[in-house]
Structure formats: C-alpha cells, structure tokens
Amino acid sequence: MQDFVKLLGLKHRREVAGKSAIFNGEHFVLEETDWYLLNLFRLWWHYGISFLRLQMWVEEVMEKFMRIYKYQAHGYAFSSLEELLHSLGGEAFINMTQRSVAESLLEAGVTQRFVDDVIAAVLRSSYGQSMLLVPAFAGAMSLAGAQGNTWAVEGGNKLVCSGLLKLTKANVVNARVTSVSLHSAEGKPLYQVRYEDEQGQDSGFYDMVVIAAPLHHGKSTLTFENFDPPIPELLGSFQPTVTSVVHGYLNSSYFGFPDPKLFPFASILTTDTPNLFFNAMDNICPVNISSSFRRKQPQEPAVWRVLSQRPLDKQQLKTLFRSYYSVQVTEWEAYPYYDSAKTLPPIVLHDNLFYLSGVEWVASSVEMISMAAKNVALLAYNRWYQDLEKIDQKDLMHKVKTEL
Ligand SMILES: Cc1cc2nc3c(=O)[nH]c(=O)nc-3n(C[C@H](O)[C@H](O)[C@H](O)COP(=O)(O)OP(=O)(O)OC[C@H]3O[C@@H](n4cnc5c(N)ncnc54)[C@H](O)[C@@H]3O)c2cc1C
C-alpha cells in the first residue's frame, strides 16, 4: 500500500493525537496517558512483562511475513495459501491459521489477565469476535496494527483504488457478475463472464479471470458452469459488524466521568464482557485534515464511530450519547467468522481462473489483500509463460539472497 501511495503521488493523512482506554462495562481497566513513560509503567504495573512478550511475538511474525515483499520483487508466486505461508514461516505459520491467538499468546508467556484485558479488546475492535476464535496469524496482524503505526490516505483511502484504476487504464464494466462458464478455444480454456446491470445482461470472453469478492456459501450468488469436476462450494460464514456514525454529545457519565469536560479519550475499546452491547467506539476525523484542525472538546458535539455486533437500539444510543443530531448505520458482512472453516480456500480454481478473497481467512486487511493480489498477478503471469521455477519454490530465502 505504501508503494501505491508513492506511485500515485498521494500523502499520508496528518495524525491527530487522541488517547485510548479499555472499558469493561463498568469502568476503564486501562487508560492511556500523555506520558510515554507513565504508559509503560502502568503496563508493567498491571501486567508485568506481558507487553514485552507480546511485542516480541508480534515482531517475530511480522519480520517473517515481510519476506513476501522480497519474494515478490523477484517474481516468485504461490499457488496456494498454504505454500505461501509455509515459505514465509514454515509449518509454524500454517499452524497459526488453525489455533487461536489467545492460546498462542498464553504459550508465549503472556499472562491470562493481559490477554483478557488488552488482547480481547484489540480483537473485538478489529475483528468483532472473541480472541478464542480469531486465529493466531490474523491476531498478530491486528495486534501489529494496534501498535499505533497505521495510517490513512489524505483525502480518503479510496483514492488509492480510483488512482490505480485510472493508472492501469482498465476498462471497467460497472455490473454484477452472475456466472463464469468454461469454453475452449484451440485447446485452451476460455471463460465466459456473464454480468447484469440496470440496462440488462451481457457477457464477455476472457483468457484469465480473477474473482476478487467472497465466494463463500450463502455469501455469493455467482455460479460456475461447464466445469468438470465442478468448482467446489466454499464453506464458512461471515461476522456481521455494524458501524454507527453518530454526530452527538457523548454521555461521559456512562464511562464514569460526570463532568464531560474531563473526559480524556478519543478511542474506547472494550473487553469480552457479557451484555456489553458495543465492541469499540472512536472519535473520527475527516479524510482531509487542515493544519488548523483540532479534535472537538469532549463537551462539544463530535462525530463518533461505534462498532457493534447488532444495530444499536434507541436505549443503547441514549446510553452512549446524551443527545445526537444524526446516526448513519451500515451493516457489514465484515470478516470471516473464524471458527466456521478450518481449511484455507484455494487460489487456483481452474487453469486460468483464480480466487483472491480467500486470503481473508488468513487475515483480513487492505495490506493482506494487496499482497495476495500481487501474488495472483505473478502466479497468472508465471503460469501463462510456463515459468514454473517461479512458482511454489522451496528455500526461497536462500534463493533470493544468492540471486542478483
Ligand atoms: C467495518 C470494516 C472496517 C475495516 N477496517 C479496516 C482497517 O482499518 N484497515 C484495514 O486494512 N482493513 C480494514 N477492513 C478490511 C478491508 O476493508 C478488507 O480487507 C478489504 O476491503 C478487502 O478488499 P477486497 O478488494 O478484497 O474486497 P472488497 O473491498 O470487499 O471489494 C469487493 C468488491 O467486489 C464487489 N462485488 C461483490 N460481488 C460482485 C459481483 N458478483 N460482481 C461484481 N462485483 C462484485 C463488491 O461490491 C465490492 O466492491 C475493514 C473492513 C470492515 C468491514
């Protein structure tokens, strides 16, 4: 994503400082302060060296994960998610998609209290589900993001997508794909893609097709025709996540601050507490931040984004906000529900028919999908030109070191 931002001449959005805290439904279990050393001291006081162990665990995973950028720079690709993970971190990385982040962290010496207070809160905010379900690999990605080095694009992240489309001069057909059927031409497969829009139905023939939307059972209406054996149905379900963007006055009393002026937090995470009706909320900033921009004072009306598993009812909105001007609700089928499928989806569905979105079952983020998209592009290219030495190679770390 960094490369795309550079290539398109875009900029990172300016950071606006804001403190976070973790709420357990009754009080804050951890509060960030303005002082770095005090934050460290608090972490140490509450949780011993757990946060250092967490940091070492995350860094080890990220260091290995980042090998992918080197492999891709040398044109190497992988035909399955298992091969990709194995080349980065061996069997351990594959195991990290099968066992929970909580289990892995406890094994790495992180205490149960730290897991219950801090890890649970980060995962409820990023994946809307319990750390007992989220696999260790997805957990590591999300915990790496929680260390404060994430960024957004000035003007909105969507500028990356629109900029790339323009740059590639892609011919975009704005329509819903309904089916892909297999034909052949001179012994080579040819795929007919049918689509529909308000004007009606149409289709086109393609040498290669990449499906970049979830195909999982119940989620997709796209069908595959003429394939023998048929394209298997992918099992698994998705975790609903509701975002409510509320413009209003925060009810700071609910969080134990009767005087709204004294409420210091811009981001509130929550622990896995039964009956706690929201996962996280944060005071959001516009996509363009001018030099004079400042966060609203806590007693002023501000725009908050609340993440919850179900739409908030009136009573719940009243609990979080003293009063509000507007609420915009979006219900997402956000991320895989991680307990529901244990095998990773395939990348190659047929000779030149590829599936991209399966990588979300390893971890769901814009960076992951970009990395997987580059893998599919390299894979399709290498297969097309029969450059098989660039596919599923073993011992790549050694190979890329010795290649010029
Ligand atoms: C609430 C929420 C917050 C998130 N926050 C973050 C974050 O902070 N950082 C981060 O890195 N990631 C975040 N993610 C995850 C991130 O959005 C996804 O990983 C990413 O969007 C996946 O990109 P994609 O292109 O694979 O899929 P999508 O962005 O889902 O795009 C798929 C596209 O395919 C289209 N489509 C579907 N079916 C068809 C069809 N039959 N025909 C034609 N088009 C079709 C869809 O309309 C959609 O436009 C968040 C996700 C959610 C839901």
Q: Whose CA is nearest to atom 10 of ligand 1?
A: 365
Q: Whose CA is nearest to atom 31 of ligand 1?
A: 213
The answer on pLDDT for 404 being more than 70 is: no
State which ligand 1 atom lies nearest to the alpha carbon of 178: 41
Q: Whose CA is nearest to atom 47 of ligand 1?
A: 213
Average pLDDT for the chain: 93
The answer on pLDDT for 15 being more than 90 is: no
157 CB within 6 A, ligand 1: no
pLDDT tens figures, 229-250: 999 989 888 999 999 999 999 9
- What is the pLDDT at residue 324? 97
> Ligand 1 centre and the CA of 1: distance in Å?
15
State which ligand 1 atom lies nearest to the alpha carbon of 366: 11
> Ligand 1 centre and the CA of 84: distance in Å?
22
> Ligand 1 centre and the CA of 213: distance in Å?
8
State which ligand 1 atom lies nearest to the alpha carbon of 243: 1
> Ligand 1 centre and the CA of 365: distance in Å?
9
Query: What's the average model confidence in pLDDT over 84-105?
Result: 95
Is residue 363 within 8 A of residue 137, CB to CB? The reply is yes
Q: What is the pTM of this model?
A: 0.93
Tokens of 354: 């590829």
Q: Whose CA is nearest to atom 34 of ligand 1?
A: 213
Rounded Cα gap, residues 190 and 226, in angstroms: 11
238-250 β-sheet, strand order: 28-31, 19-23, 265-270, 280-283, 302-308, 238-250, 321-336
pLDDT tens figures, 51-71: 899 999 999 999 999 999 999
Rounded Cα gap, residues 369 and 371, in angstroms: 5
Rounded Cα gap, residues 246 and 321, in angstroms: 9
Q: What are phi and psi of 191, to 5 degrees?
A: -110, 130
The answer on pLDDT for 93 being more than 90 is: yes
79 CB within 6 A, ligand 1: no
Q: Whose CA is nearest to atom 7 of ligand 1?
A: 365
Is residue 239 within 8 A of residue 128, CB to CB? The reply is yes
State which ligand 1 atom lies nearest to the alpha carbon of 241: 1
- Report the percent of the chain where pLDDT is more than 70: 99
Q: Whose CA is nearest to atom 33 of ligand 1?
A: 213
44 CB within 6 A, ligand 1: no
